[in-house]
Chain A
Amino acid sequence: MTTAWIDGEAAEHAAAIAAAAGRIRASRHPLFTGDYGDVATTRALLRLAAQAGGAVDQQNAAAALGWLSVLRETGSFVGAPAEIRRRADMLLFVGPNALQAAPELADFVLTEQPDLGRGKGGPRRVLWLGGPAALPDLPGGGRVEAVACAPGQLRAALSMLRAGVSGQRFGKGPLATDVIHALAVTLREARFGALVFAACDLDELDLEMLLGLVADLNAETRWTTLPLSGDPAAFGAAQVATWTAGWPLRLGFGRGVPEHDLWRFDGARLAASGECDLVVHLGSGEADLPEAFRELPLIAVTSDATAWRSEPAIRFTVASTSAGHLIRFNELWGSFVAAAPGTASDRPSPAELLDGIAEALDAASQEEAA
């Protein structure tokens, strides 16, 4: 079974590993990116990138990054979905895409009535500030109370609401004064409320205002937040990067120590500016490869063995199933979860492949040193 191709020609696996290590060694500034996020792959990719002095990005890193940047600027209240599902007697959705960002998660918190704490047994109120024109039916059959607000006006509305909640005066804005007053009273009456939003969908100033509102509400009662990142894989990769390198993605290892910079190590930017001269990309196949990387020398690590129309410099196929436990970040659980083992594969796992390249790289630098 062929698992490696050099310039489109079937190659011995070991020869392709050596060729990949050689390419990475010769590269001035390699970029490691793609669609990955399980712990073993992320760990192996970080190790290889550190050794190679390259940059690390992830296909959907932006989905996790907006939220993480706000989190570290202002801090936040954050709730576990499991606790919100059982305890929240009021949910406030904010923004037009709050339900679509993570439908499974929205389902998870909405399907059952609260059965813990002061809100136990009662119905759960669901409000939606700035929702879509046609509100969807809620899972579990509940009714949504709409508070209309154009997307561009969200921050102004949240700001009025903050003032209303704290009993401060506020001027004219997108919502009528009596609407704000009524809504402020409602929110303060929640026994355990959760503000639900698509973090990747709101800009940072909106997010800061929204977190400020939750902080204000906690002066009297309990409120928390449920940020929907839209991509648990990107969030998982960010978590692994954080305990490994001290920071989430995006990372660069070009100066010998890890550096973190959202702009400098943005893969698309590195490719467009010509700063990177080699891409190591993880994905399912050719269709997965973003336009930005098509003009660059490429080492592709794919789960699909189909030949490419435009073959990369080196291509590996890796296992898409695992006989062991695959560890991924799970948004419902709010932490890492081990997937039940699947069938064994003849192909190496992505982590085994990346480790193999790292070892070849290591051996080559030791040879050079000697």
Chain B
Amino acid sequence: MLTCLKGGHVVDPVAGLDGPADLWVEDGRVVEAPDGPRPDRIIDCAGLVVMAGAIDIHSHIASGHVNTARLLLPEFHKAFQARPGATKLSQIGWTAEETGLRYAEMGFTLVVEPAMAPSSALHSHLELADIPIIDKAALVVLGNDDVLLSLMRAGESPQAIEDYVAWTVGSARALGVKTINAGGSAAFKDNVRAFSIDDEVPDYGVTSRAIVKTLQSAVTGLKIPHPLHVHCNNLGIAGSADSAAATIQSAEGLPLHLAHLQFYGYGAGGKRGFSSEGQRLAELVNARPEITVDIGQVMFGPTVTISSDELRQFAGRTAGSPGKYVIMDGEANGGGVVPIDYKETSYYSALQWAIGLELFLLIKDPWRVFFTTDHPNGAPFTAYPELFALLMDRDVRARWLEMLPDAAVKATCLTELDREYTLAEIAIMTRAAPARLLGLPDRGHLSPGAVADIAVYRPGEDKAQMFASAAWLLKDGEVVVENGAVTRRRFGKALALKAETDAAMGRRMERYMQDRYGLPAHWFAVPQDALGRETPFGWVDMR
């Protein structure tokens, strides 16, 4: 079927397009304007904005920890059902089904779960397989696991470590590798309560820095397109900016991605001992072209923090609201679930909100800064439209600032920042740059050959309204959303790397699992036929 999206304002920064154009789609791909044949379907896009489907690189949508959060907080889902769409809490997108529908309605076509534990990769993929419409992917977590730390302690070769990383990526069907408070969870199980980049993990004698550098080399050496995705030490505490700064400096010219930088934008200044380091971190990022970051913006309202940073979740456990938490002593990372309420009236929450926006507005290159709320840690992903409005319109920011405590407003430079993101910059940050960062050359743009994931929006003064509700969404060339509502429910794929695994490493892992646990190594695997979908995976090339 030949479809023509006619007369829209196409915003495609990769092709240098920012104006009226027709788009042609056939067999799930964007095609050249054909010479002869008439389209089978014309979608009138006059007056509408046309972009590639949006890509979210960091959103906790599918894992054992996410399901534990659901189990811990039945009241969240109850509120959702009572008043769908009425409050931020109610928009949390709590089931696999809701996750797919809500993302699609906002024009998203690919979402990455950033924290898949190797031992529960199957659980993550089972949930991902039940998320309708969109494509998805997951990053596999290493850096607190006994195998890696033991290989490092034994001084094994970079080749052995690459083989192990490749084996894990292959077993877990991952699109990339993440490390979360590298060594910190392992140390916490040995009762270490504070852990920084140059601290050693007891018993293994390796530092957090060494773990990050080792994994960065392996990811680079294996030609995994997505740079090592790092959740730094000391998340969320006053003074955490030092940890982020040290990690940025440790990149040493090789690509490195820092997750949810906002949660590290804190100094210990001021009379409350909690101040903004947004400017300092933005300058560091601006000066280091090998660094990319996502923000983890805080928006106001109740939500839940879900993290494989067990040490951090332990430290924050008593500040939860409602007052209950789950701390998981997993093998390797473990993690924790702590509900939280970011209140507009709180100096701390308000400053967190402001620091996120400082980073967005002060980091100059839209190719290196990514919108996220670290769903659901800073806010549910359904808050994105409001976030885009805040970035695109300084008057919207001014209105929000009026509602915040004076002390917080005084502690941020946000009032001095005039920058407004253009549509083209939004298209870079939400489409073109994520596709490039993940190594997906046929996504994030609309040139012939691209996957026909296309979002069409109705522009208006209210940018939040515009991005909340796509006028049209095409997934693989098929219309799935019209006027902000899903019209066709189908299933996408999980994107996974074509990882080549070394047979000797496979045998070594089999021995390790038998020796230490008496269990088979294939329990790490995610068999294709286990997921109940005809084509569960889409394969992605190494660089």
Contact = CB atoms under 8 A, between A and B. Distances in A.
Interface string B72-106: 11100100110000000000001111100000000
A227 to B, nearest CB: 12
A82 interface: yes
Nearest to B337: A75
Which 5 residue pairs across A and B have the least CB separation, nearest first? A75-B324, A246-B77, A335-B120, A79-B329, A224-B329
Interface in B481-523: 516-519, 522-523
B14 interface: no
Given A72-B324, A222-B191, A334-B119, 6 more contacts: A75-B325, A87-B189, A116-B203, A246-B98, A325-B527, A333-B119
Interface in A74-88: 74-80, 82-87
A77 B327 CA distance: 5
Contacts of A117: 189-190, 202-203
Interface string B103-131: 00000000000000001101100110010
Contact of B96 (A243, A247, A257, A333): A243
A153 interface: no
A293 interface: no
B191 A83 contact: no
Contact of B202 (A118, A224, A242, A351): A118
Contact of A192 (B77, B189, B517): B189
B122 A327 contact: yes
A79 B328 CA distance: 6
A56 B493 CA distance: 29
A82 B203 CA distance: 18
A78 B203 contact: no
Contact of B95 (A68, A116, A243): A243
B420 to A, nearest CB: 38
Given A118-B191, A325-B530, A327-B530, A245 B122 contact: no
Contacts of A243: 62, 66-67, 70, 95-96, 126-127, 130
A9 B123 CA distance: 41
A260 to B, nearest CB: 7
A93 B74 CA distance: 30
B64 interface: yes
Interface in A325-353: 325, 327, 330, 332-338, 340, 351
B95 A245 contact: yes
Contact of A335 (B62, B122, B517): B122
A327 B123 CA distance: 10
Interface string B328-349: 1111001000000000000000
A77 B77 contact: no
B287 interface: no
Contacts of B516: 86, 115
Contacts of B518: 108, 111
A186 interface: no
A42 to B, nearest CB: 10
A80 B331 contact: yes
A244 B77 CA distance: 12
8 contacts: A73-B324, A80-B331, A117-B202, A324-B529, A325-B527, A325-B529, A333-B119, A334-B330
Contact of A242 (B67, B98, B120, B188): B67
A83 B326 CA distance: 17
B71 interface: yes
A77 B329 contact: yes
Given A77-B329, A82-B517, A192-B189, A246 B95 contact: yes
A231 to B, nearest CB: 16
B199 interface: no
A224 B123 CA distance: 22
A43 B130 contact: yes
Contacts of B66: 243
A337 B122 contact: yes
Interface residues of B, number: 53
Contact of A247 (B62, B70, B126, B522): B70
A210 B183 CA distance: 30
Contact of B324 (A74, A336, A337, A351): A74
Given A117-B203, A244-B97, A72 B73 contact: yes
A82 B127 CA distance: 23
B532 interface: yes
Nearest to A107: B518
Nearest to A326: B530
Contact of A191 (B119, B190, B532): B190
B386 interface: no
Residue among B94, B119, B203, B327 having the largest count of chain A Cβ atoms under 10 Å: B327
Contact of A75 (B72, B97, B122, B202): B72
Contacts of A116: 146, 189, 203
B17 interface: no
Nearest to B62: A243
Nearest to A86: B516
B438 interface: no
Interface string B32-75: 00000000000000000000000000000010101100111110
A13 interface: no
A79 B332 CA distance: 11
A221 interface: yes
A72 B74 contact: yes
Contacts of A86: 146, 331, 516-517
B525 interface: yes
Nearest to A74: B324
Interface in A142-165: none
B532 A335 contact: no
A324 B127 CA distance: 19
A333 B70 CA distance: 21
Given A72-B74, A325-B530, A335 B127 contact: no
A40 B530 CA distance: 8
B532 A83 contact: no
A72 B329 CA distance: 18
A313 interface: no
A80 B72 contact: no
A72 B130 contact: no
B71 A248 contact: yes
Contacts of A330: 523
A239 B189 contact: no
B258 to A, nearest CB: 28
Contact of A338 (B94, B328, B527): B527
